Amino acid sequence: MRIVVDAHGGDNAPLEIIKGCCMAAKEIKDITILLVGRKNELQQIMTENGLPTDRFEIVDAPDVITMEDEPTSVLKEKQYSSMAVAFRLLKEDKADAFVSAGNSGAVLVGATLLVKRIRGIKRAALGAVMPSIEGPYIMLDCGANVECKPEYLDQFALMGSLYMKSVLGIENPRVGLLNNGTEECKGPELQQQAYQLLKANENINFIGNIEGREVPLGGSDVVVADGFAGNVTLKVSEGWGKMFSGVLKGMLTKNIKSKLAALLIMDEIKAFRKKMDYKEYGGAPLLGISKPVIKAHGSSDAKAFKNAIRQACAFAESNMILEIEKSLAKE
């Protein structure tokens, strides 16, 4: 398995990215990491930090796309950036999957215009795998398409279902449409029209509208939303997760009494933290692209990035891109 990594993408790049790659190289057997970036700089960091370089191939790319750069820079002025070079390696079959924690817009543009969409897919969707109390679910789109048409949402539902099935091994995943009420007639025109398409789609297990309340409580394996509502839901969930672990920490470090309490329930807290930590679920697959592309969280640390690589491997090992093509051919 060959994974190409954009070494300079993300808030903590390149050090945390490289560390994450080393963790992945240690954990995942038969993996080769194509680390793309400023070769000398990367080699120096690995030496200084005593990081093992076996199972790494370092590919030189002189330029870097920053969070401030225009998404289209990946095609033009920054075509020799780590991200652009990594995308070309993916396109040329030099790698099985791509991972970057960099500029989301540039990842979307690069994947769509350099690697290309699956024939018949109207829009690629960013699908975040998120924790719920019942286990992980995928929400898509999470921000790639803030303005959507009903047929996009119908394709998101198909791609999300196939991802949960092929990559996370969930049989017959339940698909819910994020809406402001459960009744069929609810929501803006987009959701009302999408509901009818989803209802008629024989390739998915549509369970109807779901309200925001149900998202963290579980109940559906695939949550379909336009990129705006999806992004807001994702970030509100992150905010609550962050708030709650902060509150819990405050509660359990306040005084001697509470510190004793912390010791008594440490195992439960750890188990919960692990369950609700988005870092455990790796990054967000960009679905609808003809090759596996994973967008890791911009703030990824080594562990989060390692999990994103793990997810990229699972994506590449799955047959889901083939499955999407098959399903589209059926229509």
| Span interacting with its own copies, options 56-64, 78-86, 195-203, 237-245, rule CB under 8 A | 237-245
Q: Is 257 in the site for its own copies (CB under 8 A)?
A: yes
Q: How far is residue 310 from each of residues 91, 114, 134, measured CA to CA in Å?
A: 20, 24, 22
Count other Cβ atoms within 10 Å, centred on residue 89: 19
Q: Is 249 in the site for its own copies (CB under 8 A)?
A: no
Burial of 296 (0-12, 13-18, 19+ CB in 10 A): buried
Rounded (5°) CA angle 224-75-36: 85
Q: Is 216 in the site for its own copies (CB under 8 A)?
A: yes
Query: Tokens in use for 195?
Result: 């509901």
Q: Is 261 in the site for its own copies (CB under 8 A)?
A: yes
Of these, 39, 232, 298, 303, which contacts its own copies (CB under 8 A)?
Answer: 232
| Span interacting with its own copies, options 1-9, 37-45, 73-81, 251-259, rule CB under 8 A | 251-259
CA 190 to chain centre: 24
CA distance 271 to 290: 37
Give the type of residue at 143: G
Restricting to residues 107-166, name those near its own copies by CB under 8 A.
133, 143, 146-147
Of these, 151, 172, 217, 326, which contacts its own copies (CB under 8 A)?
Answer: 217
Q: Which is nearer to its own copies, 1 or 261 (CB)?
A: 261
Q: Is 247 in the site for its own copies (CB under 8 A)?
A: yes
Query: Tokens in use for 263?
Result: 């010791």
Binding residues for its own copies, per CB under 8 A? 133, 143, 146-147, 178, 180, 187-189, 191, 211-217, 227-229, 231-244, 246-247, 250-252, 254, 257-258, 260-262, 264-265, 268-269, 272
